[in-house]
C-alpha cells in the first residue's frame, strides 16, 4: 500500500534524547560533563537544551512516520543514478537515504570547502560535487537524509598516521582484504571522526550514522601480536575484553554529546549477533551499552550472514524466519533498558551467491517483503535496505500488510 501523498502530513516530532542516557554517558566518561569552547566553559546540559546554541543548516526535514531507507554510495549520490533513486523513493513508501559521507577506506565523498577544518587533511574526493544542492533536492522531495560515517575502518588515516593505527614489524597491519583500522583507544581518532560528523550536520544531514564502530574482527586472537597505544585506557583495571567495550562505548557517548548542538539524531550500525551475546569479545561491541547512548540502533541482520544460529540450517533460504527470530531476541534486550533507542535494522536486498548452490536464493520482491513483514510482526516498523551497488528490487511493497 502506498501512502506517499499522506505520510508527510502526520510526521511526528520524535524526541529521543533522555536524561538517563546522558547520565550513562557521563558515568562511562566522567570528563565529558563540561565542555570548553574557546575561552568559555559551558555546561553540556545547557548546550543541549538552549536554542541559542542550536545550529541551523537552513534545511528542514521532518522525521518520517517510520524511516524506510536505502543505502546510497558516493558514486550514486553524485552520479546519474541519483535521479532514479529519488524516483524510487517518490513512487513508493520508502522515505530515506543513508548516503556515504566518509566511506569504507576513509575518504570523504565530497571536497571540503576552503576554510573547513577537513580541507587540509587530503581525504576529499569529488564523487558528490555539490552536497548542498543534493540536500536541497532531498528537502524538496522530503527524503530524510542520513550521513554514513565509517569510523574505525580507515586505511587512509592509518597510512597517514600509523601511530593512530595497529602495526606489525613497523608496518600498518591490514586484514586479508587489505583494509586497515585505526585505534579506538585513541581520543585523536574520536575527534577526527566527530569533525566529519559535525561537518555533515552543518551541511544539513539530519542524522549521523556511525559504521564500523569496533575493533577489527578477530582482534581477541591476534591483538596481542600487534603494536598499538592504549591511550587513556593504559591504566584501566578492566580485562582486555572490557577495555575494548569501554573504548567503543565511550566513543559513541562522546560523539553523541559533541553533536548535541547540531540537532541531529545519532545512530550506530552493529553486528546482529552482538544482540545475542553479553558482548562481542574481539570487536568491543556491547549491544546494550551502545544502545543506551544512541537515538537509533541499526543491527545488520542479513540472512546470508548467519550460520545455523537460531536453529535455521540455511538462513538465507528463510528470510522471514531468520529476521523474526532475531527480532524476538533484540526486543528482549531493548526492553531491559530504561530508555531504548529506535530499532532500525539493515535488511538484505542482494543475492548471496557466494554461499554456494543450495545455500542461497535469489533475493527480490518476495524476499525483501518477507523480511519487512517479519520486523513488522515483531513490532519493528523501521528498516534500511542494503545493496552495495544500489540496485534495489523492483515492485516491492515496503509497507506490506
Give the E-state strand segments of 26-110 in sequence order.
34-37, 40-43, 68-72, 96-102
DSSP 231-262: GGGTT--S-HHHHHHHHHHHHHHHHHHHHGGG
Domain ranges (residues) in the chain = 66-300
CB-CB neighbours of 331 under 10 Å = 15
pLDDT at position 12 is 34
Alpha-carbon 40 to chain mean position: 32
Reported CATH class of domain 66-300: alpha beta
Looking up cell 547540531 gives 262
- Residue whose C-alpha is closest to residue 108's, from 120, 91, 130, 125: 125
**Backbone dihedral angles phi then psi of residue 346, each to the nearest 5 degrees:** -85, 130
pLDDT at position 281 is 79
Instruction: Classify 268 as helix, strand or coil.
Output: strand
Residues whose CB falls within 8 Å of the CB of residue 348, separated by 6 or more in sequence, listed in order: 302, 303, 304, 319, 363, 367, 368, 371, 385, 386
pLDDT at position 249 is 98
Measured CA to CA, the distance from residue 325 to residue 339 in angstroms comes to 23
pLDDT tens-digit readout, 355-375 = 999 999 999 999 999 999 999
pLDDT at position 341 is 98
DSSP state of 357: T
pLDDT at position 53 is 63
User: Cell numbers at residue 234, please?
Assistant: 593504559
Residues whose CB falls within 8 Å of the CB of residue 37, separated by 6 or more in sequence, listed in order: none
Indicate the pTM of the whole model: 0.87
Torsion of CA 319, 320, 322, 326, to 10 degrees: 130
CB-CB neighbours of 334 under 10 Å = 19
Signed CA dihedral, 157, 159, 163, 165: sign only? positive
H, E, C per residue of 368-394: HHHHHHHHHHCCCCCEEEECCCCCCCC
CB-CB neighbours of 317 under 10 Å = 17
Measured CA to CA, the distance from residue 180 to residue 374 in angstroms comes to 36
155 and 114 Cβ atoms separated by less than 8 Å: no
User: Cell numbers at residue 164, please?
Assistant: 593512530
pLDDT tens-digit readout, 126-166 = 999 999 999 999 999 999 999 999 999 999 999 999 999 99
What are 34's strand-pairing partners? 43
pLDDT at position 190 is 98
User: Cell numbers at residue 126, please?
Assistant: 569529488
Q: Which residues of the chain have pLDDT under 70?
A: 1-53
Amino acid at each position: 500500500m502506498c501512502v506517499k501523498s499522506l505520510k508527510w502530513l502526520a510526521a511526528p516530532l520524535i524526541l529521543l534524547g533522555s536524561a538517563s542516557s546522558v547520565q550513562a554517558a557521563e558515568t562511562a566518561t566522567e570528563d565529558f560533563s563540561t565542555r570548553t569552547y574557546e575561552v568559555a566553559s559551558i555546561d553540556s546540559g545547557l548546550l543541549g537544551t538552549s536554542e541559542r546554541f542550536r545550529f541551523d543548516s537552513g534545511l528542514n526535514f521532518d522525521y518520517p512516520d517510520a524511516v524506510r531507507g536505502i543505502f546510497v554510495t558516493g558514486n550514486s549520490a553524485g552520479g546519474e543514478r541519483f535521479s532514479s533513486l529519488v524516483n524510487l523513493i517518490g513512487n513508493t513508501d520508502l522515505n530515506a537515504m543513508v548516503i556515504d559521507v566518509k566511506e569504507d577506506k576513509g575518504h570523504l565523498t565530497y571536497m571540503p570547502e576552503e576554510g573547513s577544518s577537513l580541507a587540509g587533511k587530503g581525504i576529499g574526493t569529488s564523487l558528490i560535487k555539490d552536497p548542498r544542492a543534493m540536500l536541497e533536492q532531498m528537502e524538496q522531495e522530503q527524503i530524510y537524509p542520513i550521513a554514513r560515517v565509517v569510523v574505525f575502518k580507515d586505511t587512509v588515516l592509518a597510512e597517514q598516521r600509523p601511530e593512530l593505527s595497529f602495526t606489525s614489524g613497523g608496518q600498518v597491519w591490514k586484514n586479508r582484504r587489505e583494509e586497515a583500522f585505526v585505534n579506538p583507544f585513541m581520543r585523536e581518532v574520536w575527534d577526527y571522526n566527530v569533525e566529519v560528523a559535525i561537518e555533515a550536520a552543518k551541511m544539513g544531514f539530519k542524522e549521523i550514522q556511525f559504521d564500523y564502530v569496533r575493533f577489527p574482527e578477530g582482534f581477541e586472537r591476534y591483538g596481542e601480536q600487534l603494536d598499538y597505544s592504549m591511550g587513556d585506557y593504559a591504566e584501566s583495571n578492566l580485562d582486555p575484553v572490557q577495555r575494548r567495550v569501554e573504548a567503543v562505548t565511550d566513543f559513541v557517548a562522546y560523539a553523541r554529546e559533541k553533536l548535541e548542538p547540531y540537532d541531529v539524531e545519532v545512530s550506530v550500525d552493529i553486528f546482529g549477533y552482538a544482540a545475542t551475546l553479553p558482548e562481542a569479545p574481539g570487536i568491543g561491541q556491547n549491544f546494550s551499552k551502545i544502545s543506551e547512548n544512541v537515538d537509533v540502533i541499526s543491527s545488520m541482520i542479513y540472512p546470508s550472514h548467519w550460520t545455523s544460529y537460531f536453529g535455521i540450517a540455511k538462513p538465507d533460504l528463510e528470510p522471514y524466519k531468520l529476521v523474526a527470530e532475531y527480532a524476538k531476541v533484540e526486543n528482549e534486550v531493548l526492553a531491559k533498558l530504561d530508555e531504548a533507542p529506535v530499532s532500525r535494522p539493515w535488511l538484505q536486498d542482494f543475492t548471496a551467491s557466494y554461499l554456494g548452490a543450495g545455500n542461497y536464493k535469489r533475493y527480490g520482491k518476495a524476499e525483501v517483503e518477507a523480511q519487512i513483514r517479519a520486523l513488522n510482526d515483531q513490532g519493528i516498523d523501521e528498516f534500511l535496505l542494503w545493496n552495495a551497488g544500489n540496485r534495489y528490487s523492483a515492485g516491492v511493497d515496503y509497507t506490506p500488510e
